[in-house]
Structure 1
Amino acid sequence: MNFDESAKDVEQWLLATCNAARTLSPTECAAYKALHIRKGWEVTIGFKTREGIVHLLLDSDFPYSPPRVAYRSGDCYLKWPHVEENGVLCLPKNSVSWTDPIEKVRVALADACVLVDGTLHLDPSTTELSREFISYWNRAVDTSVRKIQSLLEPTRSAGEIAVWWGKDEIVAAENGEQLTHWLRNSGSTAEVQFTQGIFIRLDAPWVPPYPESLQLVVDKLRAVDPDVPGKLETHAIDNERCVVVMAASVETGTGLTGIIIEGGILRKLNGFRPKHIPRNFKIPHWYQNATVNHSIVNRADAAWIHGRDKNEELAETLTKKVTILGCGALGSHVAVRLAQAGVGSLMLCDPETLAAANVGRHVLGMRSVGRSKSLDLANEIRRRFPHLTVEGHHTAWQHASDEVREKIWASDLIICAIGDWSSEGLLNEEHRVRGVPPIIYCWMEEHATAAHAVGIVNQSSCIACLLNETGNTAAPETIWNDGAEEVSEPACGAYFQPFGPVDIAYAEGIAAELAVDILTGRVAENVHRVHATSTHRLKKLGGDWSEAHKEFRGHFEGGLQFQRPIENSSECPLCNPVHD
């Protein structure tokens, strides 16, 4: 059913049902420019207490999209909840099938009646204007006003904050140290200068109409904290501007709103030099002449970025430091995943530079070709997550300085994604001596048909228990007729694993998941996790399942993830050394 057929059916139904239905002109439809309205009607509806006019609106996606309804009997924008500009009502999700356009319209009009009837006599402070206060505050803000990027913990105590004034945005932080860290990681190289602002906790959210004058703003803030006006006067007059970030809590969480106060400084007064004008003259002038703007506050604190306040493990992961050895295709993606998961500190080590052939399956792109994988990856993660601490070292771990090596072993977790036994063997040997921290070894079999993540948490076994004397998996998941583990380029020693970015996603996933499990204490024993591809893909590539793998797979044909035990191998020379 197309739009023209649906709109015709709706029009016929309206004319038969509503005596006063009128088709809207193209100009009237165009007034709802953001909604892309193609057809509309003016309809008179009998609400509980009076008759009212609404516009029934259909966009070009109807009947697949829901009809919209706009209330036209008076201006109710920022006076009633669930009303957008031009009186468009925010109605509940319409679940009627697209095959019945008339029923979709009937339900939309009925929902509009329920919304309007239920709103006419409500106290704004007890309605969604209060419960959804962020939406209504943001709608009232002038779009030309700079937004405030907040690094503040919303549940913090009221007090002073550090404020950086950028050209396009303002950043509010707990203190100068946090602010400098965030700006440096974001790429700013200029000297960080900041002023003092104010953070205040409101007893209840502000609802429309919002205070416009400085005196009204200060009066409302004084009702919450009598000390705020004095602090505000000091910061605004001394710095010629000030930011107030306000927090309010409702049943769905805590939200932030902001006020920016600028100017209004008395610079000349007969009988006084400019810098010696008494404050008791400056304050009245400031109240009368300062500019007050409401501002949107965008939360950029860790709790919001990593789970919108719902990540119960974040308080723990933010305190953790993880070292990743090997920043190739696998290690680079694991690093980004852990940053996204909220691991507070990452250290990256890799001695190689990025080649163009790496770009197709690496986090970094062409602009990093010829540059250090570890250093550029650290820069990339810092820019994407400026609240985290990330450092890179262009070196193999075993050739690093003593200082860096000690930092590696002081981590809460080491992830080894090197894929080279000469480095991994040395790492395992030193780990057997030190005993801490836990280490995850991750690698893939041919064509990334099987991915392994091995967590060594204690000394009951080690990675060598799973490998043969050459450092390859002793009991692989796959077997190959040609035995070729790598493919060669037309160059000396130029071997590589032939797999794509989709194939590596599973390896990245199980390694990152195991890392979080170990960091949060969900895994406290040595563990071996495996993800194996589908049987169809494996056979297509010329491989087959090993007998050991078939014990887990059975008759299942799709991708499979499972966990194997790690047993202490009697043949492991590190766990069970042979003494003469």
Structure 2
Amino acid sequence: MPPDPPKLDDWFAGLGDDFLGRVPSGSLRAGMVDGWRLRWRERQLELQVDGDFPFSAARVYLNGYTRAQAQPHIEKNGKLCLGGKPVPGDCIATVRRALSEAFRLLGENETKLHDDDFREDFGLYWLNWSTKTDLIAEVLPGPEGTTRCRLVRAVQTKNQVFVLPTKADAARFWTNRTGSAPKWPKTTALIPIDPLPAPDRYPDTAADLWALVAVRSRHGTDLLARLVDNDPKEAFVVLAGRAPSGREHYAAVRLRRPLDRAGLPVKKRVLRQGLESAEDPLRTLFSRFRVERLATHRLDAASSRLPEGVQRQMAAVRVIIVGCGALGSGVARMLAQAGAEHLVLVDPDSLGWENIRRHELGASFVGHGKAKSLAAAIRAALPMIGFVEGHQKTFATFAREYPAVVEEADLIVSCTGDWAADASVEHTLARLKCRASVIYGWMEAHALASHAVLLGSQGARLSDGFDEHGNPRLPVVVDGKPPPPECAGASTTFGAVELAHAQALVVRVAVDALRGLEAPPAWHSWIADAVAFKEAEASVTSGWAAVRGQPGDMGGLFVGDWSFS
């Protein structure tokens, strides 16, 4: 029970005839422990509170709420969407705040002040009023978006239907996700409508859906007719439209044959009975199907912060990542998550137990090739991605076998962590006269400093910054605890936390280079804080401090040219 309910009872009683009494315990909403009823302009409201009240906000519900009476910012169960916070520890002040907001919202809704919200947040309202809860539609609109009516493809599981732009997209998505091609992608109609309807106009029947499409789309009913002309037992329609702000929304509907007395879909003969005498046979046929409004989400809802045009640009680039160890594996995954759709991963090594606390792959991949396993993991995690392929070989070997792939690349990212391997990458690219820019990423001892160097096909070279033994000409870190005395590097002196800065550094330079915001030669460095240096018993070299300045206690980012005099 909330604290001091008698005080709240007295406060509500002070409302006079507008107070209608307590909410019976059996009528409380899920998670609520107490409630009060009151009248506002001939409407009945309930204010209910949970066990954390008054350290949680009070909820206000509109009783008797239906879709025919739908109002902006009110959920299907009548709950008003209020933004007010509680007044911690003060029951009456928290109740006053909630009711004040509720009365203001209801008053504004009477003037239709927020009616555009039905279109602006159409997807949320459709989700709220969906009639089918055990099947969710996941839509990937594709580059055409809401521009025209078209047939798309859908693949289905027991609880999800995935709608994708083309048959090839559906096959790639399903193969990435499950490891096998889909057997029967369903032909699905995607129909732009304008304007997007308010909840009271959402279709309850196939006849409603036909009427909505007939009035608000161009040629949409032609697709509906094609969809049912072969008498499917089940079909899907996706309604699409733009909000006033330009946001795209998608809403899926499932069509199913009517049921016979045994609860089974009627036979084709029964479904078509009497159509020959109908004025519009296909419209009549369509109207006989059952309709279910599906909860609908966008598969690309997690698109990055990049503007839409830049996202398309990122999707078109071709990136080769050399080295899929601790640094390269994170770079590959982050680039994929940032929207890069075409990745080639190259690494000759297999995953070891020493890798798993800092590698994108875990124990189940130990003993397997890093590049191929990482490619499979990215495809499974991001099944809508265009192309990710792994090759278990050195970059020099890969370039000899696939020179055209190297020549067509827009960017090459080398994260081998080994001077000789990076030198081989540079030599191979020079031999092929590759025009792509290259980013070399690496970390110094204990991951106290990480670097990303962007170089073009002409001008500065990676070797400019190293002597003939592979020692950097301008290192950051000096001294420090020695690594364990062992062969083959069976353990490492850094983990995932230290690695995160290095991964983000390389990816940021890569994305900016692909966007044209960073030009070669460029050298970005991230230096750890003073505590990390102290724990590693290391310090910043005098040469770095003289040229780039002594880092502050918090470390940070340093940016300069890749030049040495």
The TM-score with structure 2 as length reference comes to 0.89
CA distance in 2, matches of 1:364, 1:139: 38
Q: Which of 108, 120, 132 is the equivalent residue of 1:118?
A: 108
1:174-213 paired onto structure 2 within 5 Å: 174-209=165-200, 210-213=202-205
**Which stretch of structure 1 is more off in the superposition, 5-14 or 153-162?**
5-14
Equivalent pair of 2:526/2:558 in contact (CA under 8 Å): yes
Residues 1:95 and 1:351: Cα distance change in structure 2 (over 3 Å): same
Q: Which of 142, 151, 155 is the equivalent residue of 2:140?
A: 151
- Percent same amino acid at aligned positions? 24
Q: Which residue of structure 1 lines up, in the alignment, with residue 359 of structure 2?
A: 362
What secondary structure, in the 3-state scheme, does the structure 2 residue paired with 1:318 have?
Answer: helix
Equivalent pair of 1:263/1:286 in contact (CA under 8 Å): no
What secondary structure, in the 3-state scheme, does the structure 2 residue paired with 1:157 have?
Answer: coil
CA distance in 1, matches of 2:151, 2:480: 69
Show CA shifts across 1:62-86 (max 9, x none). 2232111112366578622222244
Q: Which of 482, 486, 502 is the equivalent residue of 1:507?
A: 502
Show CA shifts across 1:466-510 (max 9, x none). 11222132221110066x3x4344xx4345431010000010011
Q: Which residue of structure 2 lines up, in the alignment, with residue 263 of structure 1?
A: 257
Equivalent pair of 1:319/1:344 in contact (CA under 8 Å): yes
Residues 1:337 and 1:402: Cα distance change in structure 2 (over 3 Å): same
What secondary structure, in the 3-state scheme, does the structure 2 residue paired with 1:472 have?
Answer: coil
| Structure 1 gaps, min length 5 | 570-580
**Which stretch of structure 1 is more off in the superposition, 542-551 or 508-517?**
542-551
CA distance in 2, matches of 1:72, 1:224: 33
Superposed displacement of residue 41, structure 1: 1.6
Residues 1:254 and 1:168: Cα distance change in structure 2 (over 3 Å): same
Residues 1:86 and 1:342: Cα distance change in structure 2 (over 3 Å): closer
Equivalent pair of 2:399/2:428 in contact (CA under 8 Å): no
Equivalent pair of 1:467/1:473 in contact (CA under 8 Å): yes
Equivalent pair of 2:149/2:220 in contact (CA under 8 Å): no
Q: Which residue of structure 1 lines up, in the alignment, with residue 304 of structure 2?
A: 307
Q: Which residue of structure 2 lines up, in the alignment, with residue 522 of structure 1?
A: 517
Residues 1:279 and 1:387: Cα distance change in structure 2 (over 3 Å): farther
The residue identity in structure 2 corresponding to 1:184 is T
| Structure 2 gaps, min length 5 | 259-264
Residues 1:536 and 1:166: Cα distance change in structure 2 (over 3 Å): closer
Q: CA RMSD in A?
A: 2.9
Equivalent pair of 1:321/1:411 in contact (CA under 8 Å): yes
Superposed displacement of residue 431, structure 1: 3.0
Superposed displacement of residue 156, structure 1: 3.5
What secondary structure, in the 3-state scheme, does the structure 1 residue paired with 2:524 have?
Answer: strand
Equivalent pair of 1:71/1:87 in contact (CA under 8 Å): yes
Residues 1:478 and 1:309: Cα distance change in structure 2 (over 3 Å): closer
Superposed displacement of residue 355, structure 1: 1.4
Q: Which residue of structure 1 lines up, in the alignment, with residue 560 of structure 2?
A: 564
The residue identity in structure 1 corresponding to 2:88 is W
Q: Which residue of structure 2 lines up, in the alignment, with residue 22 of structure 1?
A: 21
Q: Which of 510, 529, 542 is the equivalent residue of 2:537?
A: 542
- The yes-or-no answer on 1:428 pairing with 2:418 is no
Show CA shifts across 1:289-311 (max 9, x none). 3222112332114xx43237844
Q: Which residue of structure 2 lines up, in the alignment, with residue 351 of structure 1?
A: 348
CA distance in 1, matches of 2:537, 2:6: 59
Equivalent pair of 2:150/2:223 in contact (CA under 8 Å): no
Show CA shifts across 1:407-440 (max 9, x none). 1343111111111222211212233442521111
Show CA shifts across 1:355-388 (max 9, x none). 1221111111111111111111001111111222
Q: Which residue of structure 2 lines up, in the alignment, with residue 94 of structure 1?
A: 84
**Which stretch of structure 1 is more off in the superposition, 229-238 or 456-465?**
229-238
What secondary structure, in the 3-state scheme, does the structure 2 residue paired with 1:509 have?
Answer: helix
Q: Which of 22, 36, 40 is the equivalent residue of 1:41?
A: 36
The residue identity in structure 2 corresponding to 1:427 is V
CA distance in 1, matches of 2:67, 2:216: 29
CA distance in 2, matches of 1:263, 1:476: 71
CA distance in 2, matches of 1:134, 1:214: 20
- The yes-or-no answer on 1:104 pairing with 2:94 is yes
Show CA shifts across 1:31-66 (max 9, x none). x11xx1122222334xxxx34432221112222321
Q: Which residue of structure 2 lines up, in the alignment, with residue 440 of structure 1?
A: 439
Residues 1:499 and 1:279: Cα distance change in structure 2 (over 3 Å): farther
> How many residue pairs align between the two structures?
548
Residues 1:568 and 1:191: Cα distance change in structure 2 (over 3 Å): same
Superposed displacement of residue 129, structure 1: 2.7
Superposed displacement of residue 222, structure 1: 1.6
Equivalent pair of 1:145/1:293 in contact (CA under 8 Å): no
Q: Which residue of structure 2 lines up, in the alignment, with residue 450 of structure 1?
A: 449
Residues 1:399 and 1:316: Cα distance change in structure 2 (over 3 Å): same
Residues 1:189 and 1:239: Cα distance change in structure 2 (over 3 Å): farther
1:461-480 paired onto structure 2 within 5 Å: 461-480=460-479
- The yes-or-no answer on 1:229 pairing with 2:221 is yes
Superposed displacement of residue 97, structure 1: 3.9
Q: Which of 389, 392, 397 is the equivalent residue of 2:390?
A: 392
What secondary structure, in the 3-state scheme, does the structure 1 residue paired with 2:426 have?
Answer: helix
**Which stretch of structure 1 is more off in the superposition, 304-313 or 374-383?**
304-313
1:241-252 paired onto structure 2 within 5 Å: 241-252=234-245
Q: Which residue of structure 2 lines up, in the alignment, with residue 404 of structure 1?
A: 402
Show CA shifts across 1:222-270 (max 9, x none). 2234643343223223161332211121124110112222225874659
Residues 1:462 and 1:335: Cα distance change in structure 2 (over 3 Å): same
